[in-house]
Amino acid sequence: MSTRTLVYALVLVAPLTSALPPVSRGQEAASHPKARNIAEIKFEPVPGMPTCAPGAVLSGDPSKGASIIVGKLPVGCLVPWHYHTPNEQLMIISGVARLDVKDGEPVILRAGGFALMPSHHVHQFRCTTACSLFVHSDAAYDIRYVDAEGKEIPADDALNVVQKTKPKPAKAR
């Protein structure tokens, strides 16, 4: 990824970090420049997210306001139907993902692909190949899971279903 692409991606993707442990949060002052390569980032489990979706906060404090989170997900990793209170912007760094949106057509996102989910817009996300992505939230980050009828359900219920329905690895040909 070029520096220019990384800079554009960082500008587009800012607040998804409130769900991450405090140790992972970017605590640096906004007045100081910051640059890191993805190979230098330590990815950790994110509370409330599937275990297959580790992340790291690059900027901001997701529990308090706008933030940027980077995630690195394996093939088949699914974040089931959910919505966020803030607006969410997502940019694919590498790999391929499928974004399903309520009352809309699925979208296949490839490296450089971008999606904006307005506040309270129900969607789900699955990496169809291993993928890395930036997520920006414009306010304190949350994730609210919903069932097939769109009713909010506890995160544990949504995530237990994900654990039970993990895709099977493709057979080698």
- Give the number of other Cβ atoms within 10 Å of residue 119's Cβ: 12
* In-domain check, residue 173: no
* In-domain check, residue 75: yes
How far apart CA 164 and CA 159 sit, in angstroms, is 9
pLDDT of 167 higher than 70: no
172 contact partners, CB below 8 Å, separation of at least 6: none
pTM of the model: 0.76
Q: What is the CATH number of the domain that holds 107?
A: 2.60.120.10
Range of the domain at 54: 3-164
* In-domain check, residue 171: no
pLDDT in tens, 127-153: 999 999 999 999 999 999 999 899 999
- Give the number of other Cβ atoms within 10 Å of residue 155's Cβ: 17
How far apart CA 49 and CA 78 sit, in angstroms, is 10
